[in-house]
Amino acid sequence: MQLNWAELCAGLAIASVLEGMLPFLSPPAMRRLLQRLLALDDRELRLGGLFSMLAGLVILYLVR
């Protein structure tokens, strides 16, 4: 399997656009979200990260 750099860069660009939408469209909502994240303990953050990665892998599998 050969790495396609163009697709990798396109995926990173799309991720950056999606991550930048909330702070651009609603900075107060972003601040509230970050305050809520700060209140979570490490275990809850890890579980959230795990579920996010698994969802991304499932979506990638379905698309590919």
List the one residue out of 20, 19, 16, 11 whose CA is nearest residue 63.
Answer: 11
Which domain covers residue 9, as residue numbers? 5-63
Residue 64 banded pLDDT, cuts 50, 70, 90: confident
Which pTM does this prediction carry?
0.71
Confidence of residue 63 (pLDDT cuts 50, 70, 90): confident
* Dihedral sign from CA coordinates of 30, 33, 37, 39: positive
Spacing of C-alpha 50 from chain mean position: 11
Report the number of distinct structural domains present in the chain.
1
